[in-house]
Amino acid sequence: MLHPDIILKKSSISGKGLFAKKNIPKETILLISPKVRVYTISQYTALSKKYKAILKKYAYEDDEGNLVYHIDNVKYWNHSCNPNASYIGDFEITIRDIKTGEELTYDYGIIHPRWLPAMKCHCGTAECRKLIKRESQNSPVVRRLHLLAKAAIKNAFKVKQPLICDKAFIRAIKELQ
Ligand SMILES: [Zn+2]
């Protein structure tokens, strides 16, 4: 489920993107319980060309090496080399304040499938690495994002969290703190 203040709009980065329709403060959880389909590499190999192309465009690779495809608008979440959100545990969280109308981004360097070639980046930020490819766990990019997401989740109970009303999620957040 996506944060209620997120809408889908045309993006200047690529195709469609997810945008804030109101200011969203730093340390806000943007996504819980995503609706996904998970494909093993052998399941992917057996798919038709058409479906392979869709997965190549939208799917990411999880820690087990499977391809994960969001079946809803979450798949339009665009990449930036200087993102305003990142992952920790099962949560996507803002790592800085987001203004009304701003596009939500995360860094595909953490999740880009290892076996796919690098893609040209059009994020347009001063930090742009020009190519989007899987970054190693020890790279400065991944380490920085991990630290930012960790700092954000530590303060998660200090801001309004429209998505968090379930005890199981509160427990999961506390475990990450
Ligand atoms: Zn870039």
pLDDT per position as a tens digit, 90-104: 899 999 999 999 999
Please list all protein residues whose beta carbon sits less than 5 angstroms from ligand 1, which is an ion. Answer: 81, 121, 123, 128
Residues 34-43 have pLDDT tens digits of: 999 999 999 9
Residue 110: strand, helix, or coil:
helix
Per-residue model confidence (pLDDT) at position 90: 86
For position 63, what pLDDT does the model report?
86
Superfamily in which the 6-35+72-176 domain is placed by CATH? SET domain (2.170.270.10)
Averaged pLDDT, 53-60: 93
Give the separation between CA 70 and CA 72, rounded to whole angstroms: 6
Strands 78-79 and 85-88: what pairing? Answer: unpaired
| Cα 82 to averaged position of ligand 1 atoms, centre (Å) | 7
Reply yes or no on whether the pLDDT at 133 is more than 90.
yes
Res 163: pLDDT: 95
Q: Is 29 in contact with 91 (CB distance < 8 Å)?
A: yes
How many angstroms is it from 170 CA to the middle of ligand 1? 34
Domain boundaries, the chain: 6-35+72-176
Cα(36)–Cα(74) distance, integer angstroms: 9
Amino acid at site 139: S
In 45-148, DSSP assigns E strands to 60-61, 67-70, 78-79, 85-88, 91-94, 105-106, 119-120, 131-132
Ligand 1 centroid, distance to 15 Cα (angstroms): 15
pLDDT of 161 = 96
**What is the whole-number distance in angstroms between the Cα of residue 139 and the centre of ligand 1?**
16
Please tell me the number of Cα atoms within 13 Å of 69 on its side-chain side.
16
Give the mean pLDDT of 155-160.
95
Start-to-end CA distance of the chain, whole Å, equals 22
Give residue 115's pLDDT band: very low, low, confident or very high (50, 70, 90): confident
C-alpha of residue 124 to centroid of ligand 1, in Å: 6
pLDDT, averaged across the chain: 95
Q: Are 96 and 31 in contact (CB under 8 A)?
A: no
Note the pLDDT of residue 153.
97
Residue 8: name the closest of 76, 96, 89 by CA: 76
* pLDDT, position 177: 94
Give the model's pLDDT for residue 14: 85
Given a cut of 90, whether residue 116 has pLDDT beyond it is no
